[in-house]
């Protein structure tokens, strides 16, 4: 938890309590349903929570914004972002039922009123639009954008605020992305997460933002 407080110091008492509760909740559920690798559970706050919060460090979501977490796995980046943005609505989706079960239980234990979940493939989401799709190392950018584009609004009410970004896809990726970006046919904005959080783990981690 110390590494979170190293970079964020403006949590409310409720947010602080929720952040602190993540470790125990994920350790408990990981023993029942393995959603985080055994070696990573000890560094949950750096490799999962802080990594997820890199989106919050780079982008500000207006109250009422609708965000889809595509392939949320155990709830990343959606759960940490839902704690950070209590007035933003997050819909966490994964095709693996046992992972969504963990997400539902963690969200309920934390008292997160701004989280909904679905055991579903992203292609099955119909008649809904979101301001943003977020994702973490789920699939190649080409596929992520193909799945996301139909679900992203063409504009949002925050668009005229210079501090807000246009609707689109924000995904967290690692390694050399040149070929992946080229194959995707997109022209994303890249943020080196090491510039936000100068920790060894983030040296080859990037945030990729494709606007609609």
| Residue 40 confidence (pLDDT) | 81
Position with higher pLDDT, 149 vs 34? 149
Looking at the predicted structure, is the pLDDT value of residue 155 above 90? no
Are residues 82 and 111 in contact, defined by beta-carbon separation less than 8 angstroms?
A: no
Write out the chain in H/E/C secondary structure. Answer: CHHHHHHCCCCCHHHHHHHHHHHHHHHHHHHHCCCCCHHHHCCHHHHHHHHHHHHHHHCCCCCCCEEEEECCCCCCCHHHHHHHCCCCEEEEEECCHHHHHHHHHHHHHHCCCCEEEEECCHHHCCCCCECEEEEECCCCHHHHHHHHHHHECCCCCCCCCCCCCCCEEEEEEECCCHHHHHHHCCCCEEEEHHHHCCCHHHCCEEEEEEEC
User: CA-CA distance, 209 to 212, in Å (whole number)?
Assistant: 10
2-211 classified as CATH 3.40.50.150: yes
* Helices 13-32 and 97-110, axial angle in degrees (round to 10): 150
Nearest to 67 by CA among 190, 153, 7: 153
| Residue 159 confidence (pLDDT) | 47
Q: Is 123 annotated as a binding residue?
A: yes
Give Dmax (Cα) for the chain.
Answer: 46
| Residue 34 confidence (pLDDT) | 81
Percent of the chain with pLDDT over 70: 95
Looking at the predicted structure, is the pLDDT value of residue 160 above 80? no
User: CA-CA distance, 92 to 79, in Å (whole number)?
Assistant: 9
Q: Which residue has the tokens 């060894």?
A: 200
Domain residue extents for the chain: 2-211
Are residues 94 and 100 in contact, defined by beta-carbon separation less than 8 angstroms?
A: yes
Q: What is the pLDDT of residues 117-139, one digit of tens each?
A: 999 988 889 889 999 999 997 89
Alpha-carbon 24 to chain mean position: 20
Q: Is 61 annotated as a binding residue?
A: no
Q: What is the pLDDT of residues 10-65, one digit of tens each?
A: 999 999 999 999 999 999 998 888 888 877 888 999 999 999 999 999 999 999 99
Q: Is 136 annotated as a binding residue?
A: yes
Q: Is 185 annotated as a binding residue?
A: no
| Residue 161 confidence (pLDDT) | 55
Q: What is the pLDDT of residues 71-112, one digit of tens each?
A: 999 999 999 999 999 999 999 999 999 999 999 999 999 999
Q: State the average pLDDT over residues 157-181.
A: 80
């Amino acid at each position: 938890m110390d590494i979170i407080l190293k970079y964020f110091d403006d949590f409310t008492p409720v947010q602080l309590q929720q952040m602190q509760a993540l470790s125990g909740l994920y350790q408990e559920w990981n023993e029942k349903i393995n959603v985080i690798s055994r070696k990573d559970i000890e560094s949950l706050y750096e490799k999962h929570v802080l990594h997820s919060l890199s989106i919050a460090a780079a982008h500000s979501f207006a109250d009422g914004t609708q965000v889809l977490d595509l392939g949320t796995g155990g709830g990343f980046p959606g759960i940490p972002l839902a704690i950070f943005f209590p007035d933003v609505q997050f819909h966490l989706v994964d095709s693996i039922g046992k992972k969504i079960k963990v997400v539902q239980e963690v969200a309920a234990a934390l008292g997160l009123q701004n989280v909904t979940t679905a055991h579903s493939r992203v292609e099955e989401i119909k008649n809904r639009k979101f301001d943003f799709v977020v994702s973490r190392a789920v699939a190649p950018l080409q596929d992520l954008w193909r799945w996301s584009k139909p679900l992203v609004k063409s504009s949002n009410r925050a668009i005229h605020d210079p501090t807000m970004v246009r609707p689109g896809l924000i995904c967290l990726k690692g390694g050399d992305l040149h070929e992946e970006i080229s194959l995707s046919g997109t022209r994303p904005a890249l943020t080196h997460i090491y510039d936000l959080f100068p920790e060894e783990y983030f040296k080859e981690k990037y945030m990729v933002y494709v606007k609609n």
